[in-house]
Amino acid sequence: MTRSPFRNLAALSALMALLAVSGAGPAALAQTQGTDIVLGKSIPLDSKILKRSVNVFVYVPPGYNQSAARYPVLYDLNSFFCFTYDCGTVELLARTMDIPNMIVVGVPQLGYGYVPTPFEERTDTLADADLSIQFLREELMPLVEKSYRTGPLKILYGHSVGGLFAMYTMFNYPDMFAGYLAGSPWFQSNDQYWLKNIEKFAKTRDLKGKYLYTTVGRGEAQITLDTYTGLEKWMLEAQLPGLSWKSAWVEGDHGSMSGRTIYDGLLFIFDGWKIPNALFMDADIDAVDQHVKKTAAKWSALGLDASSILPEAQINGMGYTMLQRKEYDKAVRIFLYNIKCFPKSFNAHDSLAEAYMTMGDKANAIKYYKLAVELNPGAGNYEKQILLNSQNKLRELGAEN
């Protein structure tokens, strides 16, 4: 018999609650001045399916309110104990442009609703993991999609019993998510019941277009390692057409897999997303185009549009890198390429105008600053800031718009 991870999670939750009301929490640090750093929102939800009120955590990426874009969504089953870490990981990888910007949804703690009902005990009434999946499908996901600009790509991430839940969802409700991250999936529950019944557990085998990343720590309990070895063997031998799967044995114990899984797993799903900086450093626009075309089919299948595949900000940033290095010809080629990709972008035109102005090419600077003004609606604070800059530069150049 293996020890249930719920004991550890319950203890951790109690500790966090204690810190929040004692002198050890952030609230106890007296601050006379300052501004709160806001991670996201906690949204109350009265669940008819779970028959209780729950709180849903939601993180949106930087620039969300200044954009009209739709974002992939990561549904985080571990949010009740590492939501801050998970959001930070997503933001870090997005800032380094290894993955797109994403919305992170913290799924409320499901208690014993992570583990499926044993097959011998099932009735016509949904229970346990199946009931939790009904909650996700019919209440949580519709709420998120109604309240936020979500794209088609959805990823489910869970650790331990959450990892078991993620894989159960993939094999039984594969239409709900495109990507699954399962850290140390708890198949040893009930004397390895789920490993012994893996043939029934894995109901759907055609997993075309799905991604699965699983991990186990070399420092975990022997029963965990033995169970994972059995799971890995079955996965390797099973016929699972279309599934992109990677298994990773890494250093660490059971708890540390939560951090490793989300970081490495997102890199696995978005392998090929990042455009190598060397291509921009050489201003090799043809090579950039080839890279985009090479990976476009993958991203398109995941529902990511052209502006997500090749972020305007990344191109613009590399243009300014060349400008700061005084490699003006390269800067201009990159900014022109940005305008080719995003012809309605006022910021792209403003940036090219700045490059020409820095080079002393007054005519082209005026031309592109005027285009930047024409394209800029001046609606939000960001637009107004760029519009004011373009207008000031035109006055500086002696060309009032």
Which tens digit of pLDDT belongs to each residue from 81-107?
899 999 999 999 998 889 999 999 999
For 6-21+35-269, the fitting CATH number among 3.40.50.1820, 3.30.230.10, 3.40.50.920, 3.30.1490.190 is: 3.40.50.1820
Q: What is the mean pLDDT of residues 177-182?
A: 98
* 18: pLDDT strictly greater than 70: no
pLDDT at site 370: 95
Mean pLDDT computed over 271-294: 81
Whether residue 2 is predicted with pLDDT greater than 60 in this model: the reply is no
pLDDT band at 26 (very low <50, low <70, confident <90, very high): low
Mean pLDDT, residues 132-147: 97
Check if 6-21+35-269 and 277-396 are the same fold: no
Q: How far is CA 390 from CA 201, 291, 350, 360, 397, in A?
A: 60, 33, 6, 16, 11
Predicted TM-score (pTM) of this structure? 0.81
Confidence of residue 270 (pLDDT cuts 50, 70, 90): very high
Residue range 277-396, CATH number:
1.25.40.10
Rounded to an integer, the average pLDDT of 31-60 is 91
DSSP 290-347: HHHHHHHHHHHHTT--HHHHS-HHHHHHHHHHHHHTT-HHHHHHHHHHHHHH-TT-HH
**What percent of the chain is predicted at pLDDT more than 70?**
90
Our measurement of the distance from residue 178's CA atom to the centroid of its chain's CA atoms, rounded to an integer in Å, reads 12
287 falls in which pLDDT band (50, 70, 90)?
confident
- pLDDT digits 0-9 by tens, 346-378: 999 999 999 999 999 999 999 999 999 999 998
- Residue 401's pLDDT is 56
Distance CA 330, CA 353 (A): 14
Domain boundaries, the chain: 6-21+35-269, 277-396
Q: In which band, very low, low, confident or very high, does the pLDDT at 308 lie, cut at 50, 70 and 90? A: low
